[in-house]
């Protein structure tokens, strides 16, 4: 057995949710006066490995010291769907504008009702691999990991801007932007507990990560549409960066990174999980490949269920 499963930590990167519009801080404020810890991502030895401009890394997702991974992820999910501090402020203002009398419903109870209605209930799809909560959790982990491990800004969240809470999001799973040097990071996110290595979601079939990213460096119109969506849905602090990327793209000077992000249980991580991306990364030219494999302890289904049940309560 090769040492790819060695859990020696060679680097620790702390994730924040600043790229969802929250403060950049190892402990992120959710706006309620309470500072919360975010997950950390520990690089697994002997990764990352590089093939020219292409990189392949394996990271273990863990809770912050003294924290709980479920608690930390549930706070992120809840903020994406409901924004409790912002909603509380709006309800308090509405109450004040109405004369400041007692609310017919306690504000905390009102927020709880909206959270239960907006956040998808886990485990509702008969096919676990298609469950919305399970797949969304992989996207949440992907955004946090790219922010922590390479400083990528994801200016607009697909989850935050979904039209229907219980439905899958549309468009690219993830569009990020690196500021220095300026480049677009196009992510395709999959979660798999398959015993196969690589799992089929990596490079088998029309919906695999390979199929979705194969033309990412040459389909300029699709990237234009994604950048346009991003600037429409970005908070003000990210609009300038998106605009810079748009100008560089039109000028033909915006490099593109193909970023497959695979979420796996530790026990299912296999030696060949990078699949065709590692076998021949040049097939994605002119894009370079940044493959991020994220490992979590236990079952993907159990983690998603625990996170989303807590986010709803």
Give tens-digit pLDDT for 268-284: 999 999 999 999 999 99
Domain contains 107: no
Domain contains 113: no
User: Taking the CB of residue 313, how many other CB atoms lie within 10 A of it?
Assistant: 11
Q: Is the predicted pLDDT of residue 225 greater than 60, yes or no? A: yes
Specify the higher pLDDT residue, 310 or 12: 310
Domain contains 281: yes
Backbone angles phi, psi at 251, to 5 degrees: -80, 0
Can you tell me the mean pLDDT for 276-293?
97
Strand 49-51 vs strand 54-62: parallel, antiparallel, or unpaired? antiparallel
Tokens matching residue 226: 């994604």
Specify the higher pLDDT residue, 287 or 17: 287
Q: Is the predicted pLDDT of residue 167 greater than 90, yes or no? A: no
Domain contains 236: yes
Which pLDDT score is estimated for 85?
Answer: 85
Domain contains 187: yes
- Domain residues for 261? 3-66+128-299
pTM: 0.86
Domain contains 83: no
Domain contains 77: no
Domain contains 230: yes
Q: How far apart are alpha carbons 279 and 126 in whole angstroms?
A: 34
Domains in the chain, number: 1
């Amino acid at each position: 057995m090769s040492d790819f499963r060695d859990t020696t930590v060679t680097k620790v990167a702390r994730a924040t949710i600043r790229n969802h519009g929250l403060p950049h801080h190892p402990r992120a404020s959710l706006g309620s006066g309470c500072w919360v810890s975010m997950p950390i991502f520990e690089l697994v030895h002997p990764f990352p490995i590089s093939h020219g401009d292409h990189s392949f890394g394996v990271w273990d997702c863990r809770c912050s010291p003294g924290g709980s991974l479920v608690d930390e992820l549930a706070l992120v999910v809840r903020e994406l769907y409901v924004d409790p501090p912002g909603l509380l402020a709006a309800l308090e203002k509405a109450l004040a504008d109405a004369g400041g009398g007692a609310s017919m419903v306690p504000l905390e109870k009102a927020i709880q009702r909206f959270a239960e209605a907006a956040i998808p209930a886990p485990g509702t799809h008969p096919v676990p691999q298609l469950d919305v909560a399970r797949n969304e959790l992989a996207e949440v982990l992907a955004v946090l990991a790219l922010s922590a491990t390479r400083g990528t800004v994801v200016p607009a969240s697909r989850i935050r801007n979904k039209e229907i809470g219980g439905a899958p999001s549309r468009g690219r799973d993830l569009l990020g932007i690196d500021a220095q040097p300026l480049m677009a990071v196009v992510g395709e996110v999959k979660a798999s507990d398959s015993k196969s290595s690589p799992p089929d979601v990596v490079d088998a079939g029309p919906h695999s990560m390979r199929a979705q990213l194969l033309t990412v460096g040459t389909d300029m119109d699709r990237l234009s549409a994604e950048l346009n969506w991003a600037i429409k849905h970005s908070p003000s602090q990210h609009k300038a960066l998106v605009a810079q990327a748009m100008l560089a793209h039109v000028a033909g000077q915006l490099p593109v990174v193909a970023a497959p992000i695979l979420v796996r249980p530790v026990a299912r991580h296999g030696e060949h999980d990078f699949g065709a991306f590692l076998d021949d990364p040049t097939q994605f030219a002119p894009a370079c490949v940044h493959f991020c494999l994220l490992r979590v302890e236990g079952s993907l289904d159990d983690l998603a269920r625990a996170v989303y049940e807590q986010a709803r309560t």
